[in-house]
A and B are shown apart, each in its own frame.
Chain A
Amino acid sequence: MQRIINSNSCKDIGPLKDVDISLDKVRQKFIIRNKLRKSAGTKRLGVLWLIMDPVAMSLVYLFVLTVVRSFPNFESLFIGVSMYRMFQGSFMSGVGSIANFSGGIICERVRSRVLVSATIKYRVLEIIIQSSGISVVLFFFLDVNILSVISFISISLLMGVMAEGVALNMSKIVRRIPDIGNLVRYFMLLMFFGSPVLYPMAKTSGLHYRINEFNPFSYFVETVRYVADLESSLTNFSNGITISISIILIFLSLRGYLQIDRLRWEVSSWS
């Protein structure tokens, strides 16, 4: 395999041989396993923590809202909190992705297509693991039908992959100006309380409602609530805004993943 390195790129020339393709597959698995080990490996319960995290968070907020007599809808709250946790995790992972583009294979350059593929596959795996606990709660304890549970998992997957892709667009500026990373964290916290996470969007009004019409998270969570036959504003969304937000999200998300190769190359000479 011939490789040409210059200021624009580091490219392998010519078609990949079978041995290269199978090596890339092995590397994808290695990177995914490494990421999973990093997020779960240090704890006794390992992956179980990923499953329990959204359930535990939902229970905490359920408790708080019950204490302040807000009488939350259990299903709506569980769906909102768990989807937000997945959204937040995916987004922050995208923002911080620039920290490690070696994929854990330090002595040899890993092809960017391996990194892109491993990033997306890991996101899918993590969302499936995270949503599984809540799915069990929704189906067995809150009598949500199976179709709604499947839509919850599918929409969470779509949301997670897109959120990470969109956030990848910000990773360069965050690396360059780390202060923006802090601002993003505060913004995510504000978004948690401002978005229809703990309450359905129908509970909001005026400017709050208008802002949430431009909040991509609202579309994902309200769709799941709609399918689960819960209070939802999905049908009230303007078609124009929905289509515009969808196009922007798809564009930014594709751009984020497609620029990984250029991004890793550009930041490699940053000290």
Chain B
Amino acid sequence: MVIISGNLQVQDICIDYIDNPSGSLIRIGKVKKIKALQKINFSLKKGDVMALVGKNGSGKSTLLKTIAGMIRPSHGNIITNGRVILLSGANPGFSIEATGRENITELALAYGVRKQDINNFTHSVIDFADIGDAIDRRIKGYSAGMKGKLGFGFITGLKPDILLIDETLGVGDEEFRKKAQIRLREFVKNSGSVIMSTHSLGLARELCNRGIVLDNGKLISDSDIEEAMIAYRGILKIN
């Protein structure tokens, strides 16, 4: 079998969340299964940029986390080739007790940035975040916006084979969002293949060549981006 970095196959994936009731002695030991995804099938080739759309609670984040190896499927297989990074929120794992600069350096190594590239990487993140002297203060004192800028700048400086993006452009002010979109475009170009969960249909159309639509945990469309957008509008109207 030929292994190509950036390839992804999702075969018959089902996810059941196990709800563990607490607060009642009588129900101890009993678990409730919540179906989050049902029989999801699709594949991704190197170079594909796929939009993942669906209403809130349709299973988009669950699917991305499962592909990233963070949630156990109850059925099916996922095969990934190459490094998979999930951009979810804007915190790659900052320690609030360390300064912004220390965090970038330490985390960059932990995310596989080579020692010789650390300086360039750090400068690129600092330039993007543009938080001034605060970069040498402990993250503990940062505002949510500052943390968001630093986190987004950090993650989008990495170069994964498969990039999963989970609606992360909500952080920061309008100016930052514009900057973030530009950086995201570069990031998408530098990554092998991308799945991007978003509610922004304009962004999806601009960046993606394919789209899949989820509704109530089921995949209802897997097609080129235009058809996917039509299918998505369809569920919005129907429901």
A-side interface residues toward B, CB under 8 Å?
Answer: 1-7, 10, 19, 23, 26-27, 30, 33-34, 37-38, 41-42, 102, 104-109, 175-178, 265-266, 268-271
Q: Mark B78-98, 1 if CB is under 8 A from A, else 0.
A: 111111111111011101011
Residue of B nearest to A30 (CB): B110
B130 interface residue per 8 A CB criterion: no
Stretch at the interface among B16-24, B192-200, B223-231: B16-24
How near does chain B come to A26, taking the closest CB pair, in angstroms?
5
How near does chain B come to A125, taking the closest CB pair, in angstroms?
17
Chain B residue contacts of A41, Cβ below 8 A: 95, 97-98
A42 to B87 CA separation, bound complex (whole angstroms): 28
A269 to B69 CA separation, bound complex (whole angstroms): 11
- Beyond A37-B98, A265-B72, A269-B72, whether A109 also contacts B109 by CB under 8 A is no
A109 to B83 CA separation, bound complex (whole angstroms): 9
- Docked-complex contact B86 and A270, CB < 8 angstroms: no
Chain A residue contacts of B41, Cβ below 8 A: none
- Beyond A5-B77, A6-B73, A7-B73, whether A269 also contacts B110 by CB under 8 A is no
Give the residues from 95 to 154 in chain B that come closer than 8 angstroms, CB to CB, to chain A: 95, 97-98, 106-107, 109-112
Name the contact of B70 in the complex, choosing from A26, A109, A175 (C-beta under 8 A): A109
A266 to B18 CA separation, bound complex (whole angstroms): 10
Residue of B nearest to A31 (CB): B110
B-side interface residues toward A, CB under 8 Å?
Answer: 3, 15-20, 22, 28-29, 34, 66-89, 91-93, 95, 97-98, 106-107, 109-112, 155, 158, 160
Q: Which of A5, A109, A175, A177 has the most CB of B within 10 A?
A: A5
Chain A residue contacts of B80, Cβ below 8 A: 2-3, 5
- Beyond A2-B3, A108-B86, whether A268 also contacts B28 by CB under 8 A is no
- Docked-complex contact A102 and B82, CB < 8 angstroms: no
- Docked-complex contact B28 and A107, CB < 8 angstroms: no
- Docked-complex contact A5 and B92, CB < 8 angstroms: no
Chain B residue contacts of A7, Cβ below 8 A: 72-76
- Docked-complex contact A271 and B87, CB < 8 angstroms: no
How near does chain A come to B41, taking the closest CB pair, in angstroms?
14
How near does chain A come to B162, taking the closest CB pair, in angstroms?
10
Other A-B pairs, 18, CB within 8 Å; known A1-B82, A106-B89: A2-B79, A3-B78, A3-B84, A4-B77, A5-B67, A6-B73, A6-B77, A7-B76, A10-B72, A42-B97, A104-B110, A105-B107, A105-B111, A108-B84, A108-B160, A266-B72, A269-B17, A271-B20
Name the contact of B93 in the complex, choosing from A38, A105, A268 (C-beta under 8 A): A105
Residue of A nearest to B106 (CB): A30
Chain A residue contacts of B84, Cβ below 8 A: 3, 108-109
Chain A residue contacts of B97, Cβ below 8 A: 37-38, 41-42
Chain B residue contacts of A107, Cβ below 8 A: 68, 85-88, 92-93, 111, 155, 158
- Docked-complex contact A270 and B20, CB < 8 angstroms: yes
How near does chain A come to B46, taking the closest CB pair, in angstroms?
14
How near does chain A come to B194, taking the closest CB pair, in angstroms?
14
How near does chain B come to A170, taking the closest CB pair, in angstroms?
16
How near does chain B come to A12, taking the closest CB pair, in angstroms?
9
A108 to B84 CA separation, bound complex (whole angstroms): 7
Residue of A nearest to B69 (CB): A109
Residue of B nearest to A102 (CB): B93
Name the contact of B20 in the complex, choosing from A26, A27, A176 (C-beta under 8 A): A176
How near does chain B come to A8, taking the closest CB pair, in angstroms?
9
- Docked-complex contact B73 and A5, CB < 8 angstroms: yes
A132 to B117 CA separation, bound complex (whole angstroms): 38
How near does chain B come to A92, taking the closest CB pair, in angstroms?
20
How near does chain B come to A103, taking the closest CB pair, in angstroms?
8
- Docked-complex contact A271 and B17, CB < 8 angstroms: yes
